[in-house]
Chains A and B, each alone.
Chain A
C-alpha cells in the first residue's frame, strides 16, 4: 500500500499477517467457547430450578410444616427445613468461623515456619479433602451414637467441613497483607496482638469475611453429613441442641427420591429456596467486602 502523501513514506504499523496472529485468533475463539461451555450448564440448572420451583414458592410454603408426600403442592410447605438449615448452618458458622480465623492467625502471625504451624497447615489441607459423608459418619460414631440425633450433631459435621475452608481462605488473605504494614506498626512500639488486631486483620477483613461466607454457603448446601446426624422431621424443631431436625438439602434429597408429584414439586421449591439463600449470602459478602475495602485504596 503506497503512502498517499508526498515526501517520506508513512510508517507501516499494521500487524504483519503471521502464524502469531492466527494463534491469537484461535486462542481467543477457544476462550470464548470455554466460557460458553461453562455457562450453559449453570444456566440450565438455574432455569430448571426456577421453572419447576418458582410456582411452589409462597410465604406459607416457606413457613408451613411438611405434609405427607402424597399431598399436592399448595398444601403445607418446607418450614421445618428452612428453620433447620438456618439453625444448623448458623450454629456451624458460630463454631467454625471464629476457630478458623484464629487458626489462620496462628499460622500466619504466630506460628511462623515452626513445625506446629506446618503440621496444622498440612492437616487443614488434608481435612479439605475428606469426603463430606465421611465427616457425617465420623460425627455419627463419636456423637450421635452417644447423644442421639440433633441439630447440634449436624452443626458439628458442617462445622468440621467449613473449618479447613475458613482456615485456608483467611490464611491466604493474611498472607496478602504486606509486611511493610506490620513493620510500620511494630516501629511504633505496638505489641503483636495489637498489630494483628488493629492493623493486619482490618487490612484483610474484606477477604476474610467473603471467604467465610463462601464456606457458609457451601455448608448450607451439604446433604451427606446431615444424613447420619439430624435425621428428618416434618415439624419445626426450634431446639437445635436436641431432637432430630431437618434441613433443605435433606428435604430435597428425600423429596427427589419420592414417587409423588406433590413431594417432587416441594423438592424443586426447596431447591430454589436453597439457591436463593446462597445467593443472598453472596450479596452480603460483596456488600461487607466493599464496606471494609473503603480504606484499602
Chain B
C-alpha cells in the first residue's frame, strides 16, 4: 500500500519561544521530535467558525492534554489531526497542520494513510459487533498485518490491561463486556495496528474511577512507545497524566458570535500552578467553566 505521508522532519518553521507565538510554544525545551505542528489554524463547520487561530507543537512520546469548557473546540482540533472531520459535511480547515513535516491537508495526502498512522479512541466506547478477537484483529487485517495474528491480538489486549479478563472468551461479542472493558478493548484495537500517535477523545468520561485509573496507568505505561493526545473535561486527569496541557476557551464576539480559542499551551505543571493567562487561572482554580 502506498503511503504518501513522509517520515521527514524537514522544512519545519523554527521552534521555541522565539517563534513569536505568545500562547503557542512551550517554554521548556522539547525532548523528542515534533509530531504535530499546528499553526494559525481555524476550523469551520459550514459557516460556523468552531475554532480560531490555534498554534500548537506536540512532541513524540509525550502526553498532551486538551482541557477547557464544553464547546471550546478541543475535540474539533483533535479530530482535525487524523482528518476524521473529513467525514463531517461542511467541515473545513484553514492554516497549517503538519504531521512530521508533512502538511496533513495537502492535496496528495490520503486521509486513509493519515489514519493508519494516527489512531483514535472515542468518548463513547464503540466496539464493533464482532467477537473480542475480531475487534482487535480487524484493524490489523485492514492494514495487511496478517502474520502472527494471535500474538498481535494478545499483545494489544495485554497492553490495554484487558487480556487476563477476556482470555477465556475471546470469541464472545465485544458488546458483552462492561463499559470500562469495552473502552479498553477500543484502546487495544487502536494500538494493535501499532500507530505512531493515539488520539483520545475524553476516553474516561463514561467510566467509573477504577476503569479511569486503569486507562491512565495504561497511558503511562505505553508512553514510551506511543505519543498520546487526550481531550478531557477532568482537570485532575490532565494534571495526572499529561506532560503538556493546552487550555481552550470560548470567546464571544459582538453579535452573538462564539468560537473556540487556544488560550494557553505549556508544561502541565505550569498551567496548573502558575498559568500566565488570567482565564486559565480562573478555569483551573474552578472559578469558571
Contacts and interface: CB of A to CB of B under 8 A. Distances in A.
Interface of A: 112-113, 178, 180-191, 194, 198-199, 202-203, 294-297
Given A184-B122, A190-B142, A295-B173, 11 more contacts: A181-B128, A183-B122, A184-B127, A184-B189, A187-B190, A189-B114, A189-B115, A189-B117, A189-B142, A191-B112, A198-B138
A189 B143 contact: yes
A295 B174 contact: yes
Interface string B127-142: 1111100000011001
Contact of A297 (B117, B122, B173): B173
A294 B142 contact: no
Nearest to B117: A189
Contacts of A203: 128-129
Interface of B: 82, 84, 87, 89, 112-117, 119-120, 122, 124, 126-131, 138-139, 142-143, 173-176, 186, 189-190, 193
B128 A186 contact: no
A183 B84 contact: yes
Contacts of B173: 294-297
Contacts of B190: 187-188
B227 to A, nearest CB: 16
Nearest to B172: A295
Contact of B129 (A189, A190, A191, A296): A296
B175 A188 contact: no
A187 B138 contact: no
A190 B112 contact: yes
11 contacts: A178-B126, A180-B122, A182-B87, A183-B84, A186-B84, A189-B113, A189-B142, A190-B139, A294-B173, A295-B175, A296-B129
B175 A296 contact: yes
Nearest to B142: A190
Given A180-B124, A183-B87, A188 B115 contact: yes
A186 B87 contact: yes
A185 B112 contact: no
A289 to B, nearest CB: 13
Contacts of A183: 84, 87, 122, 126
Contact of A295 (B112, B117, B131, B189): B131
Contact of B138 (A180, A182, A188, A191): A188
Nearest to B1: A189
B189 to A, nearest CB: 7
A39 B98 CA distance: 66
Contacts of B174: 295
Contacts of A191: 112
Contacts of B122: 180, 183-184, 187
B118 to A, nearest CB: 8
A181 B173 CA distance: 15
A124 B32 CA distance: 57
Contacts of B186: 184
Contacts of B127: 184
A297 B128 contact: no
Nearest to A188: B139
A204 to B, nearest CB: 9
A199 B174 CA distance: 13
B108 to A, nearest CB: 17
Nearest to A297: B175
Nearest to B127: A184
B112 A187 contact: no
B126 A186 contact: no
B116 A295 contact: no
Contacts of A194: 142
Instruction: Pick the 9 closest A-B CB pairs, nearest first.
Output: A189-B116, A187-B120, A188-B139, A180-B126, A189-B115, A295-B173, A184-B126, A296-B129, A190-B142
Nearest to B113: A189
B193 to A, nearest CB: 6
